[in-house]
Amino acid sequence: MVARLALAAALVFTAAPIAAQYNDADDPYIWLEEIQGERALAKVDQWNADTEAVLTAQAEYPFAKAWARQILDDTRQIAMPDAIQGDMVTNLWRDANNPRGLWRIASLDSYLAGTPEWRTLIDVDQLGEDEGQSWVWHGANCLAPEYTRCLVSLSPGGTDADVVREFDVATGRFVEGGFTLPEAKSNVAWFDENTLFVGTDEGPGSLTESGYPRLVKLWERGTDFAQARLIAEGQQTDISMNGFSVFDGETRYRFVRRGPDFWTGEYSLVAEDGATTALPLPVDAEFEAVLDGYVIAKLNSALDTPAGTEQPGALLAWSLDDVQRGRDAAPFAVFRPSETQAVEQVAASENKLWVKVLDDVSGKLIELTPDATGWTERAMDLPANSTIQIAETSGADDTAFVTVESMLTPPTLYAVPSEGAPRAIASEPAQFDASKFTVEQKFATSKDGTKVPYYLVRPEGAEGPLPTLIHAYGGFRAAQTPKYLTAEPYRSGPLGLFWVESGNAYVLANIRGGGEYGPRWHEDALREKRQNSFDDFHAVADDLVANRLADPGRIAASGRSNGGVLVGAVANQRPDLYGAIISGSPLIDMKRYNKLLAGASWMAEYGNPDVPEDWAFMREWSPYQNMRDSADVPAAFYYLSTLDDRVHPGHARKAAAKHEAWGQTFYYHEYREGGHSVGSDHEEDAKRAALLLAYLNREIGNGAD
């Protein structure tokens, strides 16, 4: 196995050895959970400096960083339609001169013609400079159908918490005396032009145990928020409450959602006077869209209907008119995926429902149209064996904007009309010579016999085992679809490209826990079934070894967020396979995760460690508790942000402290800004990609011992 027991002299850590055995009641590293603690940040600064001293000295580092920055700042990128607002389109543009972005607007006609005439609404960099804040754009919610007033969300440093300010598109200015909310994890949406749905931090009792709003209020323009009227409230143990509106034709439908846990939701229709009427959706169904007076939801468990039993993954429709009139709203199916398919995205335009389906992880776009005889279905003619993403839909002209890409084909943005053929309106340039590589979809067999798909990229003509980077996620119904190599793995910039350009192999594994095959794929890795996700990852690695495509010990496991649980667990379980792990913004200490920031909101996914029956199975795979004082462990690289207010930085810090105490090889990089996504601009993203490449080369690549 390729592994160093210590880094070079510049990376020798000096902390005194501490107890090797973890004690649940007395964690010796708990002081690292103090996010802004002076002692904790001093340790972070030391680890950052030591890691940079070694990796920035690698010969490939300056070249990789410069190349990454060039790719990320390329002005030939697609100006994606962030929102279609009537006959206008908005976009957030980031490049070398505008690292935080320009929020801008153009006519839809000029955009469709490929020559958008942009007008800047907010220069985020300039706004931050003027106001002395490190603003990161969090989006804008503009009121239909006029779209002249918007609720703009800005985060200080990239945290999930943000401030909300009302903006006037016509004047290009924030509204003096308009709606504003201070920094919080707020849920805010338009009720009408003079009223907002608001859930925010109002002090004790206003938030759930997960740290999200527990109350939904209606706040009228010109009044103090203290006068806002309560219309719905959840329990302290819920995840969150929120209100929202959907514009369907000429009708504005308003809803409130209560989230008892991460995977359930109770929806109510809200009348003009704020009165609520419960929707008859199953509690585990996913609200997808409103079209033609029907609410469309995806089933996650079987449902008996007047027409028969509908299976998980199907899209069903319920009449909102029936709900409003107090009649029984009997649902009916509008789409049923096949055994190999999963519905991943649903979006509505004026008269169409657009459904993005995965079929053995390959994307397809389907158009559904309601008419007097039912709902008709039409598959759209887009490139096969690609990743398809619905970016936006327009209104009356029923056009869907979708991107199409593969690992070797850069993204192309198509306008897909309701009549006629899809038309490419923008494409990103090729950033590398695709003929130098091959991509193949393969299937491994997991421990219980389940076939697990994965995508393998190797240099053309390569023979025998290669150092291999495997990325996966395996949780929260999030499917991992293959993207252009300049964006693989997720949040690692163009690391995947740099890795295969160096003569190595990259793998994207579609393990259970995600949504690649619909609800069943996720259910098979929930709670006590979590080990299936890890077994799937091991199966992919073992399959590579068995087919002489990789060698044990020269495989790196990559994951972020929930993927931190994944890579930490697989490293503990199979150190014979893995020589390195990349762990980004990671969950690691599953004994305390529910007490740290938003952790309590994920107990439906993992289990509750405070319940002995749950901890009994969680204890078997929790990465932190299963770390051991041994020389035979993969070298780890942890990257994260101090301002991550979703996954607590204490997870990675405490894992690093264990490595340090035991004299094990590890690398660590914590940005002070960036939130859960880490880098807050392209400079930070480029640096991370270069550090990771240097790390992989040292530990499993050509530079390894």
Query: Cβ distance 434 to 481 under 8 Å?
Result: no
Torsional sign, CA 67, 581, 457, 682 = negative
Contact partners, residue 274, CB within 8 Å, separation at least 6: 218, 229, 231
Alpha-carbon distance 109 to 31, whole Å? 57
Return the SS3 of 705: coil
Contact partners, residue 680, CB within 8 Å, separation at least 6: 100, 134, 136, 157, 158, 671, 673, 674
Active site residue 446: no
Alpha-carbon distance 15 to 238, whole Å? 41
The Cα-based distances of 117 to 81, 276, 394, 560 in angstroms read: 13, 43, 18, 38
Alpha helices by DSSP H, listed for 384-530, are: 495-501, 519-523
Q: State the Rg of the chain over Cα.
A: 25
| Buried residues in 568-585 as b, exposed as e (16+ CB within 10 A) | bbbbbbbbebbbbbbbbb
Two structure tokens written together for 583? 């762990």
Using CA atoms in the order 599, 44, 99, 428, what is the torsion angle rounded to 10 degrees? -70
Alpha-carbon distance 134 to 37, whole Å? 21
Tell me which amino acid residue 574 is.
Answer: R
Reference 187, options 120, 233, 118, 223; nearest CA is 233
Two structure tokens written together for 172? 């290009």
The Cα-based distances of 646 to 193, 202, 641, 643 in angstroms read: 32, 20, 10, 9
| Owner of token pair 């995508």 | 455
Tell me which amino acid residue 188 is.
Answer: V
Contact partners, residue 41, CB within 8 Å, separation at least 6: 642
Two structure tokens written together for 217? 């209020």
Q: In what order do the strands lie in the sheet with 353-359?
A: 341-348, 353-359, 362-371, 374-379
Reference 627, options 700, 692, 567, 667; nearest CA is 567
Torsional sign, CA 119, 125, 129, 132 = positive
**Beta strand 162-168 pairing with 173-174:** antiparallel
| Catalytic entry in 522, 538, 651, 676 | 676
206 sits in which H/E element: none
Active site residue 561: yes
Two structure tokens written together for 81? 């339609």
557 sits in which H/E element: strand 555-560
| Catalytic entry in 446, 561, 583, 585 | 561
Contact partners, residue 128, CB within 8 Å, separation at least 6: 100, 134, 135
The Cα-based distances of 662 to 21, 303, 521, 557, 694 in angstroms read: 11, 53, 38, 21, 23
Reference 86, options 174, 150, 179; nearest CA is 150
The Cα-based distances of 495 to 79, 185, 697 in angstroms read: 23, 32, 12
Q: Which DSSP string do the residues of 64-107 spell out, in sequence order?
A: HHHHHHHHHT-TTS----SEEETTEEEEEEEETTEEEEEEEEEE
How long is the chain?
705
| Active centre residues (catalytic) | 561, 676
